[in-house]
Structure formats: C-alpha cells, structure tokens
Amino acid sequence: MVSKIAELFDKAAALPGRGKLQKSVDNPNIEVQRKIIRVATRFFADVGYRRTNIADIAIESGIGKGSIYLHFESKKDLFLSCQLAEELVILPQLEAIEKLPKKSKLSAYLEISLTFATKAPLTRALMSRPQDFATILEDTRVKSLVMEGHRYIAEEYINPVAKNLDVTEQETLAAVISMVVTAIHYVPQSIFDTSGLKTKDLIRVLSKIIDQGTQNTSSI
C-alpha cells in the first residue's frame, strides 16, 4: 500500500519539468545514473547552474560527454533530476512518521524537515542563489500542489495536537511551519559556524518551540 506522503511525492515527480525518478526496476543503467546525479549535484551546488559544464560532470563521472545525454535530455533535465533525487532522500523517514503515535508526528516531522533544510546542498544553493535558478524552476512551482502539501501537514501532524483549531486555522499553521522550514534553507553556513550553536541543537530547540506552541495554540 502506497503511503499518503509517497503519493504526494509521486504527484510532484509527475509534473512537467520535474526531471526523472531514478528507479531501479528494469533499469540496468541505474548505478551510472545515480553516479551522474551525485556528481552533478555537487557541481550545481558549488558553482551554480550557469557555470556547471556537462563536460566536467562527464569527466568526473568517468564517462563520455555524449553518454550524459543518453540518460538525461539536457542540462536542465539533469538539474531537475538532481533536485528530485535530493528531495526523495527523506521520503522513507516521512513514511515512517505515518506509523508513529499521533501526538509524536509533528515533532518527528519538524526534526526531519529542519535537518534536511540544513544539510541538503542543492536545495540550500537554490535558496541562497535564487537569481541563478529562478528561470529553471518557473514551471515547477504549482500552487495547487503546495496547498495539498499544507493540507497533508495539517491533517497528519497538526490536527492530532491542535484539534481545537478549525481546518482553515490548521492549514494556516501548516503554511507557517512550511515557511519556517524554507527559511532555514536561507541561513548561510557561516552563521552556524560563528554562532557557536550546533545545528542539531538549533533543530532540537526550534522543533520543541514549534511543537509546544502548536499544542498550546487556542486560536490564530
């Protein structure tokens, strides 16, 4: 049985301009594709989309430049596939949350999503250099899917600990939580390095503040 969160990921992956899901079923080239994804992700995150060269990715991957195009139609297709692959890393963790006791789900979700926000190299690069990536992502920003994600967060994570809020208020709170998670992507690594605060401590404290604040919210 497919989990609810997996269904959301599948919907996002099926949107036009979202790249390719790297599935191993009936795919003898999966390891080559995964290596290309790993190498390309590093290049895109380090130097940005415009300065990343397919030839450099090919050399680093140990294959010919033409071989890249056997797996990915273009540099844009490769970039979007890298982004999709990075997002899918946390899918098993999010699926595991669905099996937790209801009142433990929100704090678990917060820790997973905030940890991802501080460690995902390509996603952090997207946020820190929006001018470099904006034109590539125009056709992937689908408002209806974002709203569906907010409804999922509200139903699965917020409702069990804030039943006193109506549906609209729960979805508003879900949108706020999503914005907080997104904002963490913008925090430069140098801020963490100079603050003396360990990333895991930031995540632990922030998760607790949001979780307890949600439980204590009577109206918004």
pLDDT computed for residue 24 by the predictor:
62
Confidence of residue 25 (pLDDT cuts 50, 70, 90): low
Q: Does residue 111 lie within any of the structural domains?
A: yes
Distances (CA, A) of 207 to 59, 117, 164: 42, 13, 21
Q: Number of structural domains, the chain?
A: 2
CB 19 within 8 A of CB 87: no
Residue 23 domain boundaries: 18-87
Residues 6+ apart with CB under 8 A from 161: 102, 103, 106, 211, 214, 215
Is 0.85 topped by the overall pTM? no
**Claim to verify: residue 76 and residue 114 sit in the same structural domain:** no
Q: Does residue 220 lie within any of the structural domains?
A: no
The 3-state DSSP class for residue 100 equals: coil
**Claim to verify: residue 82 and residue 112 sit in the same structural domain:** no
**Claim to verify: residue 76 and residue 173 sit in the same structural domain:** no
**Claim to verify: residue 82 and residue 171 sit in the same structural domain:** no
Mean pLDDT of 194-200: 85
Token pair of 18, please? 């979202």
Mean pLDDT of 91-109: 93
Confidence of residue 219 (pLDDT cuts 50, 70, 90): low
CB 40 within 8 A of CB 82: yes
Q: Does residue 8 lie within any of the structural domains?
A: no
**Claim to verify: residue 210 and residue 122 sit in the same structural domain:** yes
Q: Does residue 2 lie within any of the structural domains?
A: no
Q: Does residue 92 lie within any of the structural domains?
A: no
Higher-confidence residue of 150 and 136: namely 150
pLDDT computed for residue 186 by the predictor:
82
What average pLDDT does the structure give for the chain? 85
Q: Does residue 5 lie within any of the structural domains?
A: no
CB 82 within 8 A of CB 17: no
Length, in residues, of the chain: 220
pLDDT computed for residue 198 by the predictor:
86
**Claim to verify: residue 69 and residue 117 sit in the same structural domain:** no
Q: Does residue 93 lie within any of the structural domains?
A: no
Higher-confidence residue of 176 and 6: namely 176
Alpha carbons 133 and 38: distance in angstroms, whole number: 18
In the listed set 87, 117, 139, which residue is the last one of a domain according to the structure?
A: 87
pLDDT computed for residue 180 by the predictor:
92
**Claim to verify: residue 207 and residue 111 sit in the same structural domain:** yes
Alpha carbons 6 and 93: distance in angstroms, whole number: 11
The 3-state DSSP class for residue 177 equals: helix
Q: What are phi and psi of 20, to 5 degrees?
A: -110, 140
CATH number for the domain harbouring residue 23:
1.10.10.60
**Claim to verify: residue 54 and residue 106 sit in the same structural domain:** no
- The label of the residue with tokens 């609209």 reads 168
**Claim to verify: residue 33 and residue 106 sit in the same structural domain:** no
Distances (CA, A) of 175 to 97, 141, 168, 206: 19, 15, 11, 16
**Claim to verify: residue 116 and residue 210 sit in the same structural domain:** yes
Token pair of 158, please? 């917020």
**Claim to verify: residue 128 and residue 209 sit in the same structural domain:** yes
pLDDT computed for residue 19 by the predictor:
67
- Count other C-beta atoms under 10 Å from residue 23's C-beta: 9
- DSSP class of residue 156? I
Mean pLDDT of 171-180: 93
pLDDT computed for residue 172 by the predictor:
94
In the listed set 87, 116, 138, which residue is the last one of a domain according to the structure?
A: 87
**Claim to verify: residue 211 and residue 110 sit in the same structural domain:** yes
Mean pLDDT of 160-177: 93
In the listed set 36, 52, 87, which residue is the last one of a domain according to the structure?
A: 87
Q: Does residue 79 lie within any of the structural domains?
A: yes
